Amino acid sequence: MTVTVRETVSETDPGEAERLMGVASTEVATIEELTACVERLHEVQRAKVALSRLDSDALRQALDWRRRAFDGGPS
């Protein structure tokens, strides 16, 4: 969800103030989501490093297993 905040808010616009309060109230949840995304990104990067260290036979076996899992049968 993308939320934009206008540069100026009229003091007589309670609807806009209410909307802004709603956006501001999501800060903790947004930080938690971002933290989880960053943790997942680190996990992805660690996996890529580990994959880069596999020898060709181990990588081929892993690719064959993955292909069978997706295709539902032997490659």
Residue 16 CB neighbours (<10 A):
15
Instruction: Evaluate whether 20 touches 5 at the Cβ level (below 8 Å).
Output: yes
Is residue 6 scored above 70 in pLDDT?
no
pTM above 0.85, yes or no: no
Q: What is the dihedral of CA 57, 53, 42, 4, to 10 degrees?
A: -70
CA angle (27, 31, 34) in 5-degree steps: 140
Q: What is the mean pLDDT of residues 56-74?
A: 90
**pLDDT (0 to 100) of residue 60:** 95
Most confident of 11-15, 58-62, 68-72: 58-62
**Token reading at 11:** 């003091």
12-50 pLDDT per residue, tens: 788 999 999 999 999 999 999 999 999 999 999 999 999
Does 75 have pLDDT greater than 60?
Answer: no
Looking at this protein, which amino acid is placed at residue 32? E
